[in-house]
């Protein structure tokens, strides 16, 4: 179904998202911050279909990591997640999901971005 990269500095969030997405049939790799996300993105293996990235993280935040990833490959799909209820202005991400979100909202956001449809009002 695709290879996803889950990026969040909170371990429990990474693990919950990874478990849900694995159960939905995706291959999932994880990173703790934007720097690790860049390393995973540029590392060996199958291409990454979608990145789910928290905005607020140490070392490199999700906005900067998204900009750098999109500079490498503009076609890479990125969904930003945040405790804020609005997507950041001038973001190059493909979607936004405010925390807290339900498991079904996460799966819907991933499917809608991968299929390039946007049925959920929470996905910007």
Which domains are delineated in the chain? 3-115 (3.40.50.2300)
Q: How do residues 21-37 score in pLDDT, each as one tens digit?
A: 999 999 999 999 999 99
pLDDT digits (tens, 9 = 90+) for 59-111: 999 999 999 999 999 999 999 999 888 888 888 899 999 999 999 999 999 99
pTM of the complete model = 0.89
SS (H, E, C) the chain: CCEEEEECCCHHHHHHHHHHHHHCCCEEEEECCHHHHHHHHHCCCCCCCEEEEECCCCCCCHHHHHHHHHHHCCCCEEEEEECCCCCCCCCCCCEEEECCCCHHHHHHHHHHHHHCCCCCCCCC
The answer, yes or no, to whether residue 117 has pLDDT greater than 90, is no
């Amino acid at each position: 179904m695709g290879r996803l990269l889950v990026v969040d500095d909170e371990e429990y969030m990474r693990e919950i998202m990874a478990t849900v997405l694995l159960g939905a049939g995706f291959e999932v790799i994880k990173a703790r911050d934007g720097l690790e996300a860049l390393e995973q993105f540029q590392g060996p293996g199958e291409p990454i279909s979608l990145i789910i990235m928290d905005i607020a993280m140490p070392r490199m935040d999700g906005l900067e990591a998204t900009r750098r990833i999109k500079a490498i490959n503009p076609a890479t799909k990125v969904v930003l997640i945040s405790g804020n209820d609005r997507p950041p202005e001038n973001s190059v991400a493909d979607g936004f999901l405010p925390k807290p979100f339900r498991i079904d909202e996460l799966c819907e956001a991933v499917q809608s971005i991968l299929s390039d449809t946007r049925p959920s009002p929470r996905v910007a």
